[in-house]
Amino acid sequence: MTEDARAALEHLRDASQFKWYVIPLLLLVLYAYATEVQRRDWNVLFAGLALWGMDWFNEIWNALVFHFTGRAPVWGARGDTAYQILIGLNIEICFMFAVMGIVAAKFLPPRDARVLGLPNRPVLVAANSAAAVGVEVLLNKAGVLTWDWDWWGTGFPLLVFLIGYAPFFVAAFAVHDMPRVRTKAVTVSVILGVDALALAVFGALGWL
């Protein structure tokens, strides 16, 4: 087991690490979603939930990588946190991803608009993913987001881009652009349902 993985495990689901700032952060996340409900902007609301659900999916398989290798997760979260949910996910990261999709969706132009002569959705998927990878590089340099596999990190950031973020924005924008609210709701329910089932099963098995 790597030193970084061991450090992340020290606080895994340790309730004694709780900090009171979690409560106002939770309220801010709820406020963001309540605002979209009040406005009846289902495009933005479901886009936010879709991205959040995609992140949970990634965090679950990342924890499974650590369980089955016994060496390290693909990425780990270490350092001070109010609560470490999974080895690569703390409560602060969870809240961040909960609002990231809302923010990204709010900046979406009309579907027929073009950026640099190109369809805007693929351009914005690439731009948002690249920006997120850049932030991860800074967090890694700060020592709070760890990478212990040679094929994942600054030496080969393409995988971080393609697996770590691009699917998040593809899912969020695709849900945003679905023509019917029912289709959006069903799609997001499937994403979150798969996450919930995986958490329940793998958690019960002690793999997370």
Higher pLDDT, 73 or 153: 73
User: pLDDT by residue (tens digit) across 67-78?
Assistant: 999 999 999 999
Strands of the chain (E only): list them: 76-77, 84-86, 89-90, 114-115, 118-119, 145-146
Whether the predicted model's global pTM rises above the 0.75 cut: yes
The per-residue pLDDT for 156 is: 79
pLDDT score of 169 more than 90: yes
Cα–Cα dist 151/207, whole Å: 23
CA 94 to chain centre: 7
User: pLDDT by residue (tens digit) across 14-29?
Assistant: 999 999 999 999 999 9
- Rg value, the chain, Cα: 17
Angle at 162 between CA 157 and CA 164, to 5 degrees: 80
Full DSSP string of 124-184 = HHHHHHHHHHHHHHHHHHHTSEE--STTSBTTBHHHIIIIIIHHHHHHHHHHHH-S-HHHH
User: pLDDT by residue (tens digit) across 112-142?
Assistant: 999 989 999 999 999 999 999 999 999 999 9
Phi-psi region of 180 (alpha: psi -120 to 50; beta: other; left: phi over 0): beta
pLDDT score of 79 more than 90: no
The per-residue pLDDT for 153 is: 84
- The average confidence (pLDDT) of the chain is 96
